[in-house]
Amino acid sequence: MQLQQHREKLTKLEALSLRFEQKMDEKDNILFHSKLDCRNRSVHLKKMIQDLRTKYSGCLPLEKQVSNHLSSKPFKSFEMFCFAPGKILGCVI
């Protein structure tokens, strides 16, 4: 009688242990994917920031670009020299 009760108790504890292991595995899996997602996002954002830095490095704000462009006549000749079709900064393509 006692042996049967102990076996039932043992099987219940084993089933409980397996359920806890499954829950723990699920949570570990969720944690792994969350870390991976965050790492991918951070790499993407760092690359985007670096691209924007290189794109806008040394640039004037748009308001100043427009005012400088409208107010300076020498800029027109410089613009024609640098950005003529087939040329970039005075170099023939």
Element (H, E) at 25: helix 2-56
pLDDT at 4 over 80: yes
The predicted pLDDT at position 31 comes to 97
Question: Is the model's pLDDT at 91 over the cut of 50?
Answer: no
Tokens of 66: 């427009």
User: Cα–Cα distance between 19 and 9 in angstroms, integer?
Assistant: 15
Please provide the distance, in angstroms rounded to a whole number, between the alpha carbons at the two ends of the chain.
96
Band of pLDDT at residue 76, cut at 50, 70 and 90? low
* Mean pLDDT across the chain: 79
Per DSSP, the three-state class of 92 is strand
- Interval 20-37: pLDDT, tens: 999 999 999 999 999 999
Token digits for 46?
Answer: 């760092």
Task: Taking residues 62-87, report their average pLDDT.
Answer: 57
Does 80 or 1 have the greater pLDDT score? 1
Query: Which helix (H) or strand (E) is 4 found in, with range?
Result: helix 2-56
